[in-house]
Amino acid sequence: MGRLGDWLDRRTGIRGLAHDALDEPIPGGPRLAYVFGSGLLFLFLSQVVTGVFLALYYVPSADHAHTTVAYIVKEVSSGSFLRSLHVYGSSAMIIVLLLHIGQTILFGSYKGYRELLWLAGCVLFALILGMAFTGYLLPWDQKAYFATAVGTNILAEVPLIGTWLKQFVRGGTDLGTLTISRFFVAHVFLLPAAIFALVGMHVFLFRKAGAAGPPVSAPHTTSESFYPRQVLMDMACACLLIVALGTLAWFLPSELGPVANAADTRFLPRPEWYYVPVFHWLKYWPGASAIVGIVIIPMLLAVLFAGLPFIDRGSERRPWRRPISVGSFALVMLGLVALGVASHLQDRRDPAVARQLAVQRDAVSAFMAEPFVPEASAGSLKVENAALADPAAADGKRVFEAQSCDACHGADGHGTDSAPTLVGMAAKYPNGELIRVIRMPTAKMSDGGMQPIDLSDPDAAALAAYVAGLK
Amino acid sequence: METRRSFFGGLLAFGTTAVAGLLAIPLARFSLDPLWRTTSQVLWSDVGAAADFAAIAAPIKVQLTIEQRDGWRKVLSEKPVYVIKAVDGPPRVLSAVCPHLGCSVGWNETKGQFVCPCHNGVFAGDGSLVSGPPPRGMDELDVMVEGGRLKVRYQYFRQLVPTKEVLA
pLDDT tens for each residue of A351-382: 999 999 999 999 999 999 999 999 887 665 44
A58 neighbors A68 (Cβ within 8 angstroms): yes
Does B103 or A338 have the greater pLDDT score? Answer: A338
B129 neighbors B82 (Cβ within 8 angstroms): no
Among B73, B77, B98, the residue with its CB nearest the CB of A375 is B73
Q: With beta carbons under 8 A apart, name residues in chain A contacting B26.
A: 78, 81-82
Rounded CA gap, A466 and B49, in Å?
28
Kindly give, in sequence order, each residue whose CB lies less than 8 Å from that of residue B6, ignoring residues fewer than 6 positions away.
none
Q: Tell me: the pLDDT tens digits for A119-149? A: 999 999 999 999 999 999 999 999 999 999 9
Cα A285 vs. chain centroid, distance in angstroms?
Answer: 28
Residue B22, φ and ψ in degrees, nearest 5: -65, -40
B118 neighbors B107 (Cβ within 8 angstroms): no
State the pLDDT at residue A389. 55
Asked if A232's CB is within 8 angstroms of B73's CB, the reply is no
What sign results for the dihedral spanned by CA atoms A446, A450, A454, A459?
Answer: negative
Q: State the number of CA atoms in the 13 A half-sphere of A274 facing the CB.
A: 19
Which of A45-59, A378-392, B3-17, B38-52 shows the highest mean pLDDT? A45-59
Average pLDDT in chain A: 90
Residue range A100-109: mean pLDDT, rounded: 96
Count of residues making up chain B: 168
Q: Tell me: the pLDDT tens digits for A137-180? A: 999 999 999 999 999 998 988 889 999 999 999 999 999 999 99
Q: Does B165 touch chain A (CB under 8 A)?
A: no
Rounded CA gap, A22 and B167, in Å?
61
A85 neighbors A249 (Cβ within 8 angstroms): yes
| Closest CA–CA distance from residue B148 to any residue of chain A (Å) | 26
Asked if B19's CB is within 8 angstroms of A242's CB, the reply is yes
Q: Tell me: the pLDDT tens digits for A308-332? A: 999 999 888 899 999 999 999 999 9
- Distance between first and last Cα of chain A: 69
- CA-based radius of gyration for chain A: 31
Of B69, B77, B43, B70, nearest in space to B151 by CA: B43
Query: How open is the CA angle A376-A381-A386, to the nearest 5 degrees?
Result: 170
Rounded CA gap, A98 and A454, in Å?
79
State the pLDDT at residue A402. 76
CB atoms within 10 A of CB A366: 11
B150 neighbors B90 (Cβ within 8 angstroms): yes
Beta-sheet pairing, B140-146 with B92-95: antiparallel
Name the residue in chain A with its Cα closest to that of B66. Answer: A380
Distances (CA, A) of B81 to A38, A284, B75, B133, B142: 65, 68, 19, 21, 12
* pTM (predicted TM-score): 0.78
B4, burial (CB in 10 Å: exposed 0-12, middle 13-18, buried 19+): exposed
**Does residue B5 surpass a pLDDT of 70?**
no
Substitution target from A77, A239, A384 for chain B, most B beta carbons within 10 A: A77
Percent of chain B with pLDDT over 90: 20
Rounded CA gap, A336 and A342, in Å?
10
Q: Tell me: the pLDDT tens digits for A240-294? A: 999 999 999 999 999 999 999 988 888 999 999 999 999 999 899 988 888 899 8
Rounded CA gap, A32 and A41, in Å?
16
Q: What residue type is A399 in one-letter code?
A: V
Residue range B33-60: mean pLDDT, rounded: 79
Q: Does A399 touch chain B (CB under 8 A)?
A: no
State the pLDDT at residue A384. 47
Among B25, B74, B106, the residue with its CB nearest the CB of A402 is B106
Rounded CA gap, B84 and B54, in Å?
10
Residue range A65-90: mean pLDDT, rounded: 97
Rounded CA gap, A52 and A368, in Å?
24
Q: Does A233 touch chain B (CB under 8 A)?
A: no
Q: State the number of CA atoms in the 13 A half-sphere of B4 facing the CB.
A: 5
Exposure string of B127-165, with b = 16+ CB inside 10 Å and e = fewer, is bebeeeebebbbbbbebebeeeebbbebbebebeeeeee
Asked if A242's CB is within 8 angstroms of B33's CB, the reply is no
**Which positions 104-133 of B are in contact with A (Cβ < 8 Å)?**
104-107, 116-118
Q: What residue type is A1 in one-letter code?
A: M
Distances (CA, A) of B32 to A123, B74, B102: 37, 20, 36
Residue range B114-132: mean pLDDT, rounded: 89
State the pLDDT at residue B38. 63
Distances (CA, A) of B68 to B39, B63, B75, B126: 9, 16, 5, 29
B149 three-state secondary structure: strand
Cα A200 vs. chain centroid, distance in angstroms?
Answer: 23
Name the residue in chain A with its Cα closest to that of B77. Answer: A380
Of B63, B129, B58, B116, nearest in space to A404 by CA: B116
Kindly give, in sequence order, each residue whose CB lies less than 8 Å from that of residue A453, ignoring residues fewer than 6 positions away.
A403, A405, A438, A439
The lowest-confidence range among A229-233, A386-390, A453-457, B106-110 is A386-390
Q: With beta carbons under 8 A apart, name residues in chain B contacting A240.
A: none
Among B5, B23, B76, the residue with its CB nearest the CB of A380 is B76
A175 neighbors A134 (Cβ within 8 angstroms): no
Asked if A404's CB is within 8 angstroms of B104's CB, the reply is yes
**Does residue A412 surpass a pLDDT of 90?**
no
**Does residue A387 surpass a pLDDT of 50?**
no
Kindly give, in sequence order, each residue whose CB lies less than 8 Å from that of residue A257, ignoring residues fewer than 6 positions away.
A141, A142, A143, A144, A360, A363, A364, A367
Q: With beta carbons under 8 A apart, name residues in chain B contacting A64.
A: 72
